[in-house]
Chains A and B, each alone.
Chain A
Amino acid sequence: MINLTINGLDVSVEEGTTVLEAARFFGFPIPTLCHNDGLTPLGACRLCVVEIGEEPGTNLVSSCTYPAEEGLKVRTASERVIRSRKMILELLLASCPQSKIIQDLAAAHNVKTQRFKQEYEDCILCGLCVRMCTEQMMAKAIGFSGRGENRRIGTPFDIKSDVCRLCGACMYICPACQLRCTYTEPEKAICGACANLSPPCLEKEGFNDMMCYMSPCVACEIKKD
Chain B
Amino acid sequence: MHYLEQIDEFKRFRQSLIDNSSDGKPCIVIGAGTCGQASGSNDLIRIIKRQILEQGLHNKISLRITGCLGFCEMSPFIVIEPGHNLYPKLRMENIPQIIDAALEDRVIEELLYTEPGSYTKCYTQQEIPFFKGQTRTILGQNQRLDPIRIVDYVKTGGYASLIKVLENPDPDWIIKEVLESKIRGRGGAGFPTGKKWEFARKSYDKTGQKFIVCNADEGDPGAYMDRSLLEGNPHTVLEGMFIAAIAIGAGNGIIYVRSEYPLAIKHSLIAIRQARDLGILGKNILGSGIDFDIEIFQGAGAFVCGEETALIKSIEGKMGEPRQRPPYPILKGIQGHPTCINNVETLANIPQIISKGAAEYAKIGTINNTGTKIFSLVGKIKNTGLVEVSLGTPISKVVYEIGGGPVGKAKIKAIQTGGPSGGCIPASMFDLPLDYDILTEVGSIMGSGGMIVMDENTCMVDVAKFFMNFLKDESCGKCFTCRKGTQRMYEILDNITRGKGTLAELELLEELAHVVKDTTMCGLGQTAANPVLSTLRYFRNEYEEHIVDKKCTAFVCKDLVGVLCQAACPLDTEPWRYIALIEKGEYEEAYKVIREANPLPSVCARICDRKCEQRCSLITSGGEPIAIRALKRFIADRVDPLIYRPERVVRDTEDVHEVAVIGAGPAGLSAAHYLSLSGYRVTIFEAEKEPGGMLITSIPAYRMPKNVVRRDIELLIDENIILKCQTVLGRDITIDSLFTDGFKAIFLAIGAHESRRLDIEGEDVEGIYQSIEFLKAFNLMGEELARGYVGIIGGGNSAVDAARVALRQKKVEKVTLFYRRTRQEMPAYEEEIEAALEEGVELELLVSPVKIYSKNKYLVAFECIRNKLGEMDSSGRRRPITVPGTEFKILVATLIVAIGERPQSNFLKSMGIEIDKSGRVNVDIETFQTHHPGVFAGGDLVTGPNTVVDAIAAGKKAALIIDRFIQEKELGEPPKVKLPEVLLEPAVVSDEELEQAKRTVPPILSVELRHNNFEEVEKTLSVDEAKQEARRCLRCDLEFIQHKNGSTIEYETVGEKQA
Contact A67 B326 (CB under 8 A): yes
Q: Is A223 in the interface zone, CB < 8 Å from B?
A: no
> Is A184 engaged at the interface, CB distance under 8 Å to the other chain?
no
> How many angstroms from the CA of A87 to the CA of B513 in the assembled complex?
10
Q: B480 and A62: CB pair below 8 A?
A: no
Q: Is the interface of B mostly helix, strand, loop or mixed?
A: helix
Q: Is the CB of B515 within 8 A of A44?
A: no
Q: Is B479 an interface residue (CB 8 A)?
A: yes
B708: interface (CB < 8 Å): no
Judge whether B483 and A151 touch: CB under 8 Å.
Answer: yes
B906 part of interface (Cβ distance < 8 Å)? no
Task: From the candidates B319, B324, B512, name the one contacting A65 in the complex (CB within 8 A).
Answer: B324
Contact among A80, A91, A124 with B518 in the assembled complex (CB-CB below 8 Å): A80
Tell me, in angstroms, the Cα distance from A62 to B304 when the chains sit together: 19
In the complex, whether A49 has a CB less than 8 A from a CB of chain B is yes
Contacts of A83 in B (CB 8 A): 515
**B633-663: which residues lie under 8 A (CB-CB) from chain A?**
none
Name the residue on A nearest B477 (C-beta): A151
Q: A148 interface residue, CB < 8 Å from B?
A: yes
Cα(A148)–Cα(B491), bound, Å: 14
B302 interfacial by beta-carbon distance below 8 Å: yes
Determine whether the beta carbon of A44 is less than 8 Å from that of B319: no
Would you give the 0/1 interface string for B318-329, flagging 1 where the beta carbon is closer than 8 Å to chain A? 011001101100
Whether A42 is near chain B, meaning CB under 8 Å from some CB there, is: yes
- The reply to whether A149 and B483 contact each other, CB–CB distance below 8 Å, is yes
Q: Is the CB of A69 within 8 A of B479?
A: no
Closest to A116 in B: B488
B461-488 residues with Cβ-Cβ distance < 8 A to A are 471-481, 483-488
Known: A88-B481, A92-B480, A125-B480. A148 touches B473 (CB 8 A): yes
Whether A116 touches B491, Cβ cut-off 8 Å, given contacts A62-B521, A149-B473, is yes
User: Which A residues from 170 to 189 make CB contacts under 8 A with B?
Assistant: none
Fill in one digit per residue for B485-516: 1 if any A CB lies within 8 Å of its CB, else 0: 11110010000000000001100100110010
CA distance A60 to B479 in the complex (A): 13
Contact partners of B491 in chain A: CB under 8 A: 116-117
Taking CB atoms and an 8 Å cut-off, the chain A residues in 71-99 that contact chain B are 80, 83-84, 87-88, 91-92, 94-95
Give A126's nearest chain B residue, CB to CB: B480
Which residues in A have their C-beta under 8 angstroms from that of B518?
49, 60, 80, 84
A18 nearest CB neighbor, chain B only: B324
A88–B519 Cα gap in the complex (Å)?
Answer: 9
Q: In the complex, which residues of chain B have a beta carbon less than 8 angstroms from the beta carbon of A69?
A: 326
Min C-beta distance of A31 to chain B, whole Å: 13
Q: Are A91 and B319 touching (Cβ within 8 A)?
A: no
Kindly state the separation between the CA atoms of A43 and B481 in the bound complex, as whole angstroms.
Answer: 11
List of A residues within 8 angstroms of B520 by Cβ: 46
Question: Are the CB atoms of B475 and A91 closer together than 8 Å?
Answer: no
Determine the chain A residues whose CB is within 8 A of the CB of B319 once the complex forms: 144
| Interface: A146 (CB within 8 A) | yes
In the complex formed, the residue of A with least CB distance to B505 is A115
Q: Does chain B have a CB within 8 A of A45?
A: yes
A224 within 8 A of B: no
Contact call A95/B484, Cβ cutoff below 8 A: yes
Interface mask (A25-65 → B, CB under 8 Å = 1, otherwise 0)? 00000000000000000111110010000000000111001
Which of A43, A66, A69 has the largest number of chain B CB atoms within 10 A?
A43
Check A91/B488 contact, CB under 8 A, given A44-B478, A84-B519, A125-B480: yes
Residues of B within 8 A of A91 (CB): 480-481, 484-485, 488, 512
Q: How far is the CB of A96 from chain B (nearest CB, A)?
A: 10
Q: Are A147 and B326 in contact (CB under 8 A)?
A: no
Q: Write out, one digit per residue, whether chain A residues 143-176 have a CB within 8 A of any chain B CB (1) or not (0).
A: 0101111110000000000000000000000000
Task: Give Cα A68–Cα B323 distance, bound, in whole angstroms.
Answer: 16
Which residue of B has the minimal Cβ distance to A145?
B319
A87–B511 CB distance below 8 A? yes
Nearest CB to that of B478 among chain A residues? A44
Once the chains bind, are B508 and A61 in contact (CB under 8 Å)? no
- Report whether A43 and B479 are in contact in the complex, using a CB–CB cutoff of 8 Å: yes
Question: A residues within 8 A CB of B488?
Answer: 91, 94, 116
Contact (Cβ within 8 A) A45 B480: yes
Contacting pair A88 B515 (CB below 8 A): yes
Q: Closest Cβ of chain B: how far from A2's Cβ, in Å?
A: 13
Cβ of B515: which chain A residues have Cβ within 8 Å of it?
83-84, 87-88
Contacts of B487 in A (CB 8 A): 149
Residues of A within 8 A of B471 (CB): 148
Report the nearest A residue to B508, measured CB to CB. A115
Contact check, B475 vs A46: say whether CB atoms are below 8 A apart: no
Cα distance, A127 to B480, chains bound together (Å): 11
When C-beta atoms are compared, the residue in chain B nearest to A124 turns out to be B480
- Knowing A116-B488, A117-B491, the reply to whether A43 touches B302 (Cβ < 8 A) is no
Cα(A94)–Cα(B518), bound, Å: 20
Give Cα A42–Cα B322 distance, bound, in whole angstroms: 11
Q: Which of chain A's residues have a CB closer than 8 A to the CB of B475? A: 147-149
Q: Are A125 and B519 in contact (CB under 8 A)?
A: no
Q: Are A46 and B473 in contact (CB under 8 A)?
A: no
Report how far A140 CA is from B488 CA in the complex, Å: 32
| B533, chain A: closest CB distance, angstroms | 15
CB of B468, distance to nearest CB on chain A (Å): 11
Assess whether B480 is in contact with A46, with CB atoms less than 8 Å apart. Answer: yes
* CB within 8 Å of B: which A103-147 residues: 115-117, 124-127, 144, 146-147
Q: Is the CB of B477 within 8 A of A149?
A: yes
Residues of A within 8 A of B478 (CB): 42-44, 125, 127, 151
With contact pairs A43-B324, A66-B324 given, residues A88 and B521 touching in the complex (Cβ less than 8 Å): no
Contacts A87-B515, A88-B515 hold; do A125 and B483 have CB atoms under 8 A apart?
Answer: yes
Query: How far is B324's CA from A65's CA once the two chains are assembled, in angstroms?
Result: 6
Which residues of the partner chain B approach A84 to less than 8 Å between Cβ atoms? 515, 518-519
Interface centre among B476, B479, B480 (most CB of A within 10 A): B480
The residue among A69, A126, A127, A151 with the most chain B CB atoms within 10 A of its own CB is: A151
CB distance from A142 to the nearest CB of B (A): 13
Find out whether the CB atom of B477 lies under 8 angstroms from the CB atom of A148: yes
Minimum CB–CB distance from B92 to chain A (whole Å) comes to: 44
CB-based contact B504/A115 at 8 Å: yes
Chain A residues with Cβ under 8 A from B476's Cβ? 147-148, 151
Set of chain B residues within 8 Å of A45, measured between Cβ atoms: 480
Sample 13 A-B pairs with CB under 8 A, ordered by A number.
Answer: A44-B480, A49-B518, A60-B518, A61-B521, A84-B515, A87-B481, A91-B485, A91-B512, A115-B505, A124-B480, A125-B477, A147-B474, A149-B475
Binding site for B on A (CB under 8 A): 42-46, 49, 60-62, 65-67, 69, 80, 83-84, 87-88, 91-92, 94-95, 115-117, 124-127, 144, 146-151
Closest 3 CB pairs of A and B: A151-B477, A65-B324, A87-B515
Sample of 4 more A-B contacts, CB < 8 Å, known A60-B518, A84-B518, A148-B474: A46-B479, A87-B515, A91-B488, A147-B320
